[in-house]
Amino acid sequence: MSLAYELVKSWKTKEGNVTPTQEILDWVDKRNKTLTVDIKKIPFPKDGFWYLDETDGCIRNRKNTFFSLSGFRQTEGDQVMCEQPVIIQDEIGYLGIICKQIDGVLNFLMQAKVEPGNVNVIQISPTIQATKSNFTQSHGGKAPAYLDFFAHSNEYRIVVDQIQSEQSSRFLKKRNRNIIIDIGDSEIEVLDSHKWMTLGQIKDLMRIDNLVNMDTRTVLSCIPYTEMKLEENEYEKMKELFDDQALFRSIFEESENALPTIFNAINNYKMYSDLKSSLVPLTDLKDWEINDHEIICRHPYDFKIVYCQIEIEGREVRCWEQPLVEAIGMAVFGLFTKVSDGCRYFLVKAKPEIGCFDGIELGPVVQLEPSNPRNQLDDVEKMFFQKLDEKRGVRKDVILSEEGGRFYHEQNRNVIIEIDEKDIDSLPEGYFWVRYSTLNEMIQFNNFVNIQLRNLISLLDI
């Protein structure tokens, strides 16, 4: 079988051939009840391991590792367009998944992982989820489990290996390495913290609020179906695995090349944007207050900075303190889909964000942070919320967490709505109807599809 067929067969297999789904749910529940996890908000120490550096106004730790917090200012001419804290983490971490054929079905080795900011303690995570500071042991703890497989990934079949962006409204140019390796016949010990799951199981578990973490979702969204060659006679066999035949055509049938039009819009923004960005001391942010317990904006904003004392059993380091970004409210990320001439299309738009590595990426139709007023939406966004409020055409509606290593209890509503072709006559500038294959091709390059859109793509069923 080709790799593409193996992956789709695993996608179709919703009840695991190694680990029953109920066993996975019981495993997560048991670990939630038995692991020692204690997260407390505490006052920010003036002279602790983390401190406010008076030289540049950043919050960092004494080893100058992991990440720091700085002030960020974006201007256009003489006008300040945005001021806020940002997370600076220049290192690239691993978001890695090991897969292996077991009894004829491709299974993925997934981890029940606790992150300090998780709203529900344990979430289903990649095999390895580690910053460079983690896997180089800058913290003085032990190396993450399964690191050697990824350190020697060229010895195995590479399914995907891409460096992709993180949340660009919170991070400044942050990226991680999204990688899946097929280890073939290699032996591997399955730790108590890990279990084998099919792709279909993982996607089915995404229906449950806050169970499958953001890092798993972004890695799986990168699987390059459109780049894989099928073996003879596999096309029709694979087609039979899809209940959504329009999605099958969207992935595997050739289409017109939409990339030049999309790149034209993206490149025009990069060339002609007059926005200028700079890092400034946190104390220079005029609308932000730094007090003993938090860094908070004086007017409604999407997040604040808190400081936490953390104890998590089984981590490379068990006890530590760190700042976390706490969301204020819940964002909505939304995608429109339609079927045209028997093929499924998705509506996306070019979305600038302050922390984008190159200024702009493709994002979903709706990317509405809590403090953004609905009265400033365009006609497409207004239509989205009208259909959502009326519950018309909703294919997916699930609350999912963001990255728990840096964000405290941040969960967002992820929605996919199907519409009729006639619902939208003309598109505003920057919007594009695209096939799955177009998005899948763009994800094979760095920094073109943002994490919100990648997460929504990962929710699709066949």
| Residue 42 falls inside a structural domain | no
Kindly report, residue by residue over 170-187, the tens digit of the pLDDT.
Answer: 999 999 999 999 999 999
Cα(271)–Cα(177) distance, integer angstroms: 27
Kindly report, residue by residue over 412-424, the tens digit of the pLDDT.
Answer: 999 999 999 899 9
| Residue 236 falls inside a structural domain | no
| Residue 362 falls inside a structural domain | yes
> For the chain, what is the domain count?
1
| Residue 444 falls inside a structural domain | yes
Q: Is this model's pTM higher than 0.75 or not?
A: yes
pLDDT (0 to 100) of residue 135: 65
Share of the chain above pLDDT 70, in %: 97
| Secondary structure (3-state) at 324 | strand
Listing DSSP states for 26-75 in one string gives HHHHHHHHHS-EEEEE-PPPSSSSEEEETTTTEEEETT--S-EEEEEEEE
| pLDDT-based confidence at residue 376 (cuts at 50, 70, 90) | confident
346 or 141, greater pLDDT: 346
243 or 136, greater pLDDT: 243
**For position 354, which CATH number holds?**
3.90.79.40
| Residue 207 falls inside a structural domain | no
| Residue 264 falls inside a structural domain | yes
| Residue 226 falls inside a structural domain | no
What stretches of 185-257 show up as alpha helix (H) in DSSP?
199-205, 214-221, 234-239, 245-252
- The mean pLDDT of 289-317, rounded to a whole number, is 90
Domain that holds residue 384: 259-275+330-457
| Residue 245 falls inside a structural domain | no
Beta-bridge partners for 162: 178
